[in-house]
Amino acid sequence: MNQNLAFADYAVFIIYFIVVSAYGYTVYRKRKQDEQDAKAYFLAEGNLTWWAIGASLIASNISAEQFIGMSGEGFFLGIAVAAYEWLAAVALIIVAVWFIPVYLKNKIYTMPQFLKTRYNESTALIMAVFWLFLYVFVNLTSILYLGAVAINGLAGGEYLHVIMVGLAVFALFISLGGMKVVAYTDVIQVAVLIIGGLVTSYIALTTVGQYFGVGENAIAGFKVLLKEAPEHFKMIIPKPTAASTQLEIDKYLTFPGLLSYAAGIWIINLNYWGCNQYITQRALGADLQTARTGILFAGMLKLLMPLIVMLPGIAAYVLYTNGHLPQLVGGKDGAYSAVLTFLPTGLKGLSVAALTAAIVASLAGKVNSISTIYTLDVHKKYIQKNAGEKQQVNIGRLAVFVAMLLAVLFTWNDVLGIGGVGGFTYIQKYTGFISPGVFAMFFLGMFWKRTTGTAAIVGVILGFLLSVLFNEYAPALFGNDTFLYTAYNNGKGGFEIPFHICMGLSFLFTMIAMILISFAGPKINPKAFETEPGMFKVKPQTTVLIVITMLIIIALYVKFW
């Protein structure tokens, strides 16, 4: 069980690097004329197929925080954490059917543009600046840091900064070619990600089978997991009682059973998949049917993700609790790396390539979104209003370079303290505080014509303040048990309200405030979006994809409820 990589592993990784780079360069050469068209460069307008959109959505979504963080939650919670992935598929159906038609009908290319068109320029500028800071100093930095730490651990632990720079340069190379290069290289990235991830899960299961004497058989290994850790195969975490242990309370605080499904997990998913430049950008340059099919294809791929990123964590838990995983270090977040040590030479390189593919695709997608927002919503409107198409492309490339440089500088010595709280927690902490307000602003802006610009600004600010209130201060101010919530002992000398419940309460009161403020305005806001009869109607082939996805999700919940 050598943790270091052998020559064959490096060879596999180098082949992966060459293939992706060569393919990306080929796509770039074929579409070099995009440098004369800003929308083609930033959005690949009209050039992406449904399968490229779907693959790019998944490649951009799955990164080190999923491989490491979600595998760690699989170690700690079990299959309950799969709700993030399986309900994301439902969220993608909602986005495909109801959100995307609104964006495309109103020719929306960026999220700040949506806010300007629907509300006012002040709201758009405030949120553009906020998103730029969030994407650079939260998302980009955490992806780069966590990814570099994970790969460094597998490479021997002595090359953190070399790997960090290598990941940044690789992502920079891809992203400078524009959205078309990013999206089509993502097709290879997601293929490597899925194949490498499935190989890791297969080896994990056969290793379990071997250690428990049922043979090197993946099915037998899975049955061992069901037998040895039955509590890890329940979707609903039970509500704590007076007799509950601190471990049981901690699990509920992380994922509060049925109450997670009342609001919190939907806000997370719908805000992420439907109101996020980083994600929606892939579909905004396509026609409606292509965009819908690509999004639904991504939803079907999402159903596979727990098998890749969560199952190894459960396998690690069973091996560790039975004394078969002494190489696990760093608690639950070390689960995935510990499982990788069982992989034979060559396959370990494939798994590292899969992890790298996830990291690089996310970095490239993120800096492309940063570049798009900065160029189209800030620079072109407020700094250089007469910038031509070629100038916009060059500004976008400069923004890509600056964003990646900042990410490297701030992760070099972990200035932001990402390692102290963990990358997955770091992202959830800072994006989760703003999600209720942002989602309320987008949701009402799309589907209620009376919503005003004043209500939107109040909603964003109030949503953030309420999130801070419920997460940090409510138990001390209002008590631990009220008609709105119950706070639980967190084992650290304080009481906490489960994060999903905090998010739901913040969203509820933000919506109420925005609705009341909007009643002071006209019955129909002059800037409200127009809708058409049949605008949300779907074609038969789209309906088939939706039905198949829903049937699979229902079957999974029936099996593991």
> Roughly what angle, to the nearest 10 degrees, separates helices 453-468 and 423-447?
150
The answer to whether the beta carbons of residues 389 and 139 sit under 8 Å apart is no
What does CATH list as the number for 7-110+139-261+279-412?
A: 1.20.1730.10
Assigned token pair, 323: 């004394």
Residue 2's pLDDT band (boundaries 50, 70, 90)? very low
> pLDDT tens across 133-192, in order?
888 988 888 888 888 887 887 777 778 899 899 999 988 888 877 777 777 888 888 888
Q: Which amino acid is at 380?
A: K
Average pLDDT over residues 18-23: 83
Residue listed under structure tokens 């999700």: 553
Quick one: CA torsion of 7, 12, 18, 20, rounded to 10 degrees?
A: -150
Residue 209's pLDDT band (boundaries 50, 70, 90)? very high
Q: What is the rounded distance in angstroms from the CA atom of residue 17 to the CA atom of residue 250? A: 41
Q: Is the pLDDT of residue 122 over 70?
A: yes
Q: What is the pLDDT of residue 487?
A: 94
Q: What is the pLDDT of residue 277?
A: 84
Q: What is the pLDDT of residue 71?
A: 86
Mean pLDDT of the chain: 87
Selection from 507, 494, 490, 373 nearest residue 433 by Cα: 507
Residue 343 or 449, more confident: 449
Q: What is the rounded distance in angstroms from the CA atom of residue 299 to the CA atom of residue 188? A: 18
Q: What is the rounded distance in angstroms from the CA atom of residue 150 to the CA atom of residue 540? A: 44
H helices present in 62-140, as ranges: 64, 71-76, 83-94, 100-105, 111-118, 121-134
Q: What is the rounded distance in angstroms from the CA atom of residue 555 to the CA atom of residue 276? A: 30
Q: Which amino acid is at 107?
A: K
Q: Cα 450 to the chain's mean position, in Å? A: 31
What is the pTM for the complete model shown? 0.89
**How many Cβ atoms are within 10 Å of 479's Cβ, its own excluded?**
12
> pLDDT tens across 328-377, in order?
766 777 788 888 888 888 788 888 888 888 888 888 888 988 999 999 89
Residue 44's pLDDT band (boundaries 50, 70, 90)? low
The answer to whether the beta carbons of residues 464 and 434 sit under 8 Å apart is yes
Q: What is the rounded distance in angstroms from the CA atom of residue 132 to the CA atom of residue 403? A: 9
> pLDDT tens across 382-430, in order?
898 888 888 988 898 899 999 999 999 998 888 777 665 555 566 666 7
The answer to whether the beta carbons of residues 250 and 95 sit under 8 Å apart is no
Q: Is the pLDDT of residue 477 over 80?
A: yes
Q: What is the pLDDT of residue 1?
A: 42
Q: What is the CA radius of gyration of the chain?
A: 23
The answer to whether the beta carbons of residues 360 and 143 sit under 8 Å apart is no
Question: Which of 20-29, 93-102, 111-120, 407-416 shows the lowest mean pLDDT across its residues?
Answer: 20-29
For the purposes of burial, counting CB atoms within 10 Å of the CB of 308, is it exposed (0-12), middle (13-18) or buried (19 or more)?
buried
Residue 379's pLDDT band (boundaries 50, 70, 90)? very high
Residue listed under structure tokens 């933000």: 510
Assigned token pair, 250: 């901690």
Domain residue limits, the chain: 7-110+139-261+279-412
Q: What is the rounded distance in angstroms from the CA atom of residue 454 to the CA atom of residue 444? A: 13
Helix (H, G, I), strand (E, B) or coil at 60: helix
**How many Cβ atoms are within 10 Å of 410's Cβ, its own excluded?**
18
Q: Cα 16 to the chain's mean position, in Å? A: 24
The answer to whether the beta carbons of residues 336 and 312 sit under 8 Å apart is yes
Selection from 202, 231, 206, 238 nearest residue 221 by Cα: 206
